[in-house]
Structure 1
Amino acid sequence: LVMLNLHFFDAAEVTVVSFKMGLSILAACLPIAFAGMLSAIHQGKVCAAGILMTAKRPEMAFKAGVVYAVMVEVYAVLGLLVTMFILLKGGIFPPVM
């Protein structure tokens, strides 16, 4: 979203980012940064435990392998949603004309 709104891929029109706008973008992207990092660490632990549980009790394969991993991934998705709401509704980028 940040790259698209700053016309990063458009060589003809490049948006100049001020210091204040740069700090606003950094602050807006922090929720997904922390939520994604913590979710990835804990999802690795949960998935490893799910593999061990599946080896010991095959009837628990779906619950251990998928459901618990999805429960951890929900926090990363929530962090992404918070970042998207801040970027899109926070008034960080100038209005498109």
Structure 2
Amino acid sequence: MQFDPKRSYSDDDIERAMATVARVIELHGEAYWPILERLEAELESRRARSARLARHLKRFALAQGRRRIASPRGRPPCDPAPCAHEVDGSCQTTGPY
């Protein structure tokens, strides 16, 4: 595989490159360690960014869910989880929605 700066490389591509570089290190010596370290750092960075994005999207989705449950009168919302106060769609602590 030849490097193309315009191409987007997948995690699988990076993992295959890491396996290749590991074999090169085994056969030709430690001079190639910086390449393996760079590939490891790139893969770790990508996964960390992906995990952060997932956390933010989950938080946003939870916030959106709470807004839908909020009272139109500006009262504090019940938690979107099953509410112990809720009877027939009305939270007994804040009143009807």
TM-score, structure 2 as length reference: 0.45
Structure number with higher strand proportion: 2
TM-score, structure 1 as length reference: 0.45
Structure number with higher helix proportion: 1
If you compute each CA radius of gyration, which structure gives the higher value, 1 or 2? Answer: 2
